[in-house]
Amino acid sequence: MKKKSAQHQSSKSLKTFYIYSFIVFLLILISLIVRGVILFEQNIFDPVHHFILTVQQKGTVKEIISFNPQIPAVSVLRVDDKNIPYKTLAKEYGVPSDGYIQLDDSMPLTTDPTALMWTSIMHAATLDSNLTIFDSVRLFLMSKNVATNNEISTDVSLKNHNIMNTNEITQALTDLDIASESISIQIINATNITGMGQRLGRILTNTGANVVDVSSAKNSQKETTIAYFGDSSFTLTHLQKLLHVTPTKLTKQPIANIIITIGNDKRNTSAF
């Protein structure tokens, strides 16, 4: 009788252990799924649109890599200038950047995008970057599938504004979706900071946008606005993302299809 009781107790304990183990496993699985979903939502690379990645080392910009999934093609701009901080790229040199990778001093600098993205995958836990592991994998796969004749590597100087440098930079940074739409854009600087309109215009022109007018408003404006005439477009979506502004639709045709008015809320922006 005691033997049967002991066996029953052992069977009951084993059953409890299995149930407990299953619950723990289920909780871990749910946790991993939730974490994966959150991480995936933080992706910044859209595999069907143009993407610009900046490579830094020792606190300065070393390379600007342009991924063009539409072709697909990859352009690498090797920056000859020394001591150009990442934060000054857009404001001072008209170079937008969607993502960045900060290489450790011990990591070799390479002009091979596939090798670079593999490094970012292998060192994802320690590398300073705003890319998620999903971004790195997608960029790795895309660069790996680029034909040799669609890989371009060029030395440029951001500080030297000669025609050759300007053409090389514009060619690499041009977003084919924006360029093909060729939607007219007017920029109005409604801040008391001189040159903000030109800075934004340079950024947009370098990415292939059709900027037809840059002017200054007589009075300053508190908030930045985007107004557009006609249908929605990828160019409009891009501007909305760049400026973090919800566009409003116009009922009458203005001087351009999209009018951007820069307000004082963008005085300290790093986007342009």
pLDDT in tens, 214-231: 999 999 999 999 999 999
Q: Using CA atoms, how far apart are residues 61 and 157, in angstroms rounded to an integer?
A: 11
Closest CA to 160 of 256, 79, 104: 79
Compute the radius of gyration of the chain from its Cα atoms: 25
Q: Is the pLDDT of residue 2 over 70?
A: no
Backbone angles phi, psi at 198, to 5 degrees: -65, -35
> Please, which residues bridge with residue 185 across strands?
211, 258
Question: Tens digits of per-residue pLDDT, 233-268?
Answer: 999 999 999 999 999 999 998 999 999 999 999 999
Q: Check residues 172 and 36 and name the one with the higher pLDDT.
A: 172
Predicted confidence at residue 31, as pLDDT, reads 67
Contact assessment for residue 52 and residue 99, using Cβ atoms and an 8 Å cutoff: yes
Q: What percent of the chain has pLDDT over 90?
A: 69
pTM, full prediction: 0.81
Task: List the beta bridge partners of residue 226.
Answer: 260
Which pLDDT score is estimated for 92? Answer: 93
pLDDT tens string 16-37: 777 777 787 777 777 666 665 6
Q: Which amino acid is at 225?
A: T
Q: Which of the two residues, 10 and 166, has the higher pLDDT score? A: 166
Spatial separation of the C-alpha atoms in residues 107 and 129, rounded to whole Å: 14
Per-residue pLDDT at 37: 61
Q: What are the strands, taking DSSP E only, across the chain?
A: 51-57, 60-68, 73-79, 99-103, 128-129, 151-156, 184-189, 210-216, 225-228, 248-249, 258-262
Better-predicted residue by pLDDT, 41 or 248: 248
DSSP state of 59: T
The pLDDT of residue 5: 60
Give the pLDDT confidence of 75-123 residue by residue, as tens digits: 999 999 989 999 999 999 999 999 999 999 888 888 899 999 999 999 9
Summary mean pLDDT of the chain: 89
Cα–Cα distances in Å, from 72 out to 10, 27, 46, 67? 63, 41, 13, 8
Q: At 185, is the pLDDT very low, low, confident or very high (cuts 50, 70, 90)?
A: very high
Say if residues 50 and 176 touch (Cβ distance below 8 Å): yes
Does residue 40 have a pLDDT over 70? no
How large a percentage of the chain has pLDDT more than 70?
Answer: 90
Closest CA to 241 of 20, 44, 109: 44
